[in-house]
Structure 1
């Protein structure tokens, strides 16, 4: 177990090199310069801390909670979103929800992989689907959230099978059985969030552009 935690810690350290430039050149300067952005980011950290604290523990290591990482990734970009998720994870450690030894694995399987999945799905929708606000809300938001939540449970399951913590039958019967139940509310949470932000606060979404999703769509018509 110690070897697995050490390997996860090395991966987390390596991942910091991919996000530092974006954090140093975009996130931190904007936090220092814009008070409204500070309030938004602190509110996001608080909301995610509360959301992730409400975990349903099926078995040890097999916890279920809403992620909302699709919304986070589209608000900040995947690099800054991952940086914010690190802050939230350390906050959970301080509140006793996570132990310090659990943080590296948690960052990989409950933060980095879901954020990466969300951003890849968004990029695919942006590249191959029509660019209009309905595609953004339903595909990049709703279906993206459902896919990300399901993938999170699947990768966590495979990891525990590889570690031989549980056998596959136990995981399917006690953990993966919740995938259909979690996918819809996770998708709804992210889809509704992106719908509200794109209509009322589009400046909160780093990946959203009126030119791409609204004006271009009607100009082509």
Structure 2
């Protein structure tokens, strides 16, 4: 059964503390001068935040918290880079929480497991690919966008499912039957969404993509 208590659990309090530490770290390393002065960066950060906000409005689920929606966080990471992707996704999370799609008690957990974890892992896959694999257009699309896009969906759902079990919100079988069993259905669409996004952007708007470099992926290929 789900919790009916309004008080924050210990794990939720730790989630809020982790969110606070993440915000302090992000603020210290975020290039604020670039955000203030560069109109293109402003449009990309706030435009993608609005896009993610709208995307996260469409969700399905039976039990509170055990709902599924597209993430699009791998593409967001490739477009904006690590720090601005975190900022953009947190703005979107604040928006969906503000209108009641997520609970404020879960904001810290969602920011860590639903935002920071997929973005950090997506950037790790990109960095590993950039340094260890051939710098080819197809490698960028499939290894940096499609594959991690699908994997981040699974990672996020497993992480949140584990949280709900450890926190005592739901029995494990309820989580498996109503949440984790949906992972195979979400992998390919999420991977396709991220892969198609990056394919279109690097063809038509490569200057919008922070992690894509013509001299590495296109010249002399």
TM-score by length of 1: 0.90
SS in 2 for 1:182: helix
Query: C-alpha offsets along residues 11-50 of structure 1, whole Å, 9 cap, x if unaligned?
Result: 1111123322332x2xx33333233433333321111111
2:3 alignment counterpart:
none
Runs ≥4 in structure 1, deviation > 3 angstroms?
none
1:185 alignment counterpart:
189
Gaps in structure 1 of 5+ consecutive residues:
none
Match of 1:2 among 9, 21, 31: 9
Question: What is the CA–CA distance in structure 2 between the aligned matches of 1:37 and 1:77, rounded to whole Å?
Answer: 11
1:212 alignment counterpart:
216
Gaps in structure 2 of 5+ consecutive residues:
1-7
1:13 alignment counterpart:
20
1:133 alignment counterpart:
137
Q: With a CA cutoff of 8 Å and minimum separation of 6, indicate the structure with the bigger relative contact order.
A: 2
SS in 1 for 2:50: helix
CA contact (8 A) 1:68 1:190 kept: yes
Question: What is the CA–CA distance in structure 1 between the aligned matches of 2:106 and 2:139, rounded to whole Å?
Answer: 37
Match of 1:153 among 146, 151, 157: 157
CA contact (8 A) 1:75 1:206 kept: yes
Question: What is the CA–CA distance in structure 1 between the aligned matches of 2:87 and 2:42, rounded to whole Å?
Answer: 15
2:204 alignment counterpart:
200
Query: C-alpha offsets along residues 46-99 of structure 1, whole Å, 9 cap, x if unaligned?
Result: 111111111212312212110000011111112221111111111112222223
- Answering whether residue 61 of structure 2 is matched by residue 54 of structure 1, we say no
Higher helix share: 1
Q: CA deviation at 1:203?
A: 1.5
